[in-house]
Every structure is written in C-alpha cells, then in structure tokens.
Structure 1
C-alpha cells in the first residue's frame, strides 16, 4: 500500500555498498510512495530517466480550477497546437479530471479538446493528432515527477514480478495498481525497466523504460 513505513524505516540498514535486488525493490517502493529523499540516495547526480516511448499528446498538465493547466510541452511539434499556460476543459467530449489527458488510439488519430489559450478568454475547439513521444528527465525533474505522481493516488500496491542482475545492469519487471479514493476504481499498468549502475559510485546512473503491453493495447479501441 501507499504507506510503507515498515520498509522505509529499514532502508538505512538494508541499503548496502553494492546495489542488490532488494535495494531495487526498496527504490521502487520509495519512488511510487513519493519519498524523494530516499530515492535521491539511490541515484547519481548525473542520473537520467529515459521514459518509455508512448503515444499521446506530448504535454504535461496539472489539475487546477476544474481544468488541466499545461505545464510542459515535450517538443516543438506540439507547440503549434498547445503551449504552456493553456487550459484544457474537455477531452473527447468528457470533462477533464485530476488523472490528466488519458489518451487511447493509434498514431495520427485526432483528439478533440476544448481549450482556453493562455491570455485569452474564449473557448476553442481543437483537434490534435496523437504522436509517439520519447523524452528524458534529469535527477531534479525525476524527483519532482515522483512527488506529483504519488499525490494523485489514495493508495497503491506494487508487485515485483522478476529482477535479473547481470554485471552493471539490473532488469526489473513489475506491476503497479492504485486507486484515487478509498474503495475507488483500480487502475493498473505493467512495466519493464533497465537500471544501469555506476560501479565506482554504486549508484543508479540511468533507467531505461521499455514499451509495456498496456501502452500497446491503449492504441486500440
């Protein structure tokens, strides 16, 4: 569940000079629990998180005043449609909520948005095609993002399916599920990630996410 104090209290004892499989499990529990202080102990200052490629709209948002405020645009291709400061009120004829812009469909399929552009007052109807995006985060951005993600969920559960270690690389297959409120709907995803360890510093230097089955299935109606 979201509150994993028993695990985290033992963090300092379990964490060893050499990163092992148990350390990766603690890292994931801290990460999805929003404990950026513990996560920071595992990763180097030069840390990079390579996000799993995904099909979507290429923006990051924050739920404010019954709208999704665009806080980040991933690349220039989307800026002809959306910019930081724009507000999205409806997505495909549905009022938006704190889960953000949850998209499904193949590359090129258009998403209907009701938007108020930054600095304007009137609503616009926009149709924006889905594209594939792949982006990276540095250490500071990664720590901020895990805090934002954890704040969206009432509780969660994490299942480690498999961990394989080979030299300076650890591969992890896990399943996450969570709910936004007590006894609420359950949301889930599975992921495979590769952790690249800096042997000299004994810290995680890079995490590379791979395409998950859920992201593949989300392209279909």
Structure 2
C-alpha cells in the first residue's frame, strides 16, 4: 500500500539488517507499523510478534484485516469525500491511504494517473492497495495488534524493536498528530536499558546512537508528474554500544 514514509522499497534491506543482529531473540515489535511492509518480511523470523501505530484508523484497518475483513476494490470520489469527515473505522483507514495520491492521508482522491516516467497509466490505486494489505495481513493474524503510540510498549531482553517514526525535521504523518523526536529517543533509550535491542530508521544520527547500516534511498513521491526522483540518506540506528567498530 502506498504510504508516505513507507518502507516498501527497502523492506528487504531492513529485514536483512535485523536478521544479522537478531541474536536468538524470540519476539519482534514494531510500534510504528505503518504500511506493514517491514513487518511482513520480519515478523515470520520470530516466534511471536506485536505491532502498533498511533493512527487510529490505520490500526482499525489492520485489526479488521487480521480478523478476515475484505476491503473494497473501488470507492467513488463522493464516498472518499464523505469518509474524510467520518468517524474512525477500518474502511476509513483503508481508503484514506489507499485511494489518495502517493498514499498521503486524504491528500486527494485518485484512481489512476498517467505515469510520465513510463508513458502509461498506473494501476488503479485502490485495487493495488487492496492486494497489498491482504497479503501483509496474512502475517498479522497471530500478532498482538494495538492502537496507540509507542509509549504503550515495555519491551524486554527477548525483544527486537524496529522503529520507523516520523523523521526528525519533517511534517510527520497525517492523522497521527505532531511527533516529538527527543521524547521518543528518551523512551527508546529506556527500552535499551531494559534489555531490548532497538533499531531506528532515520535520515540522520543522534547523540548516543550509531549507524548500524546505511544506504541511499530514492524518493518516489513525484514519479507520476514526471519530476526527477530525489535521493536521500537512509540509516538504521542502534545504541552505540551495539554498533560494531567497523560500522561506526
């Protein structure tokens, strides 16, 4: 599913890095599950898994999908407009991202658009989103899924925590409110002190956190209007005591 800040294009890379440092830990936690792209790849590597997100509609969607809900293949522009101002629901979560251009939360209704880079129409957004979320939901059926922000979790020594929060200095994700990076890093450090292995996706480093792995990532937000892709730095952070000297 298209999702602003989603990790679909680098999920395999993230999973490879997690596998390298898993160290026999049995539980996997994603407090910012978002599109579920990384969860789909990583959760099967662990005996048990948990996921959450502060976006209420998104988690209602994942919970309903895990329970067997079938989302629609199409919604009209009028239905989209009505859902924008409706109460939180699984359908609203699915449509708000899945039928919006570039996966921006109710960022503008779209069905198909002309892709100037490839000279063709894109696949219908909602049909593609439906196939994607149904595939991802298969890995969530036995998981502990909770609506709410990262502060609800108390991971311990058996847990690998992968965090993909709104990046520092960005506008964050629609529908989830303003994000305090410093407060989050304090919480993540407390998890580490409690024995958990915590890995954070970011675009920069922070005091006390080192780069475990790094790559360049293309931004695809403007691919449909023919604008050139931008390239940004993508880093996977861990507490410096965890980062090997060769990676520091």
Indicate whether the TM-score tops 0.5.
no
Q: Which structure carries more strand by proportion? A: 1
Report which structure shows greater RCO (CA 8 Å, sep ≥6).
Answer: 1
Q: Which structure carries more helix by proportion? A: 2
Q: TM-score, normalised by structure 2?
A: 0.26
Q: TM-score, normalised by structure 1?
A: 0.28
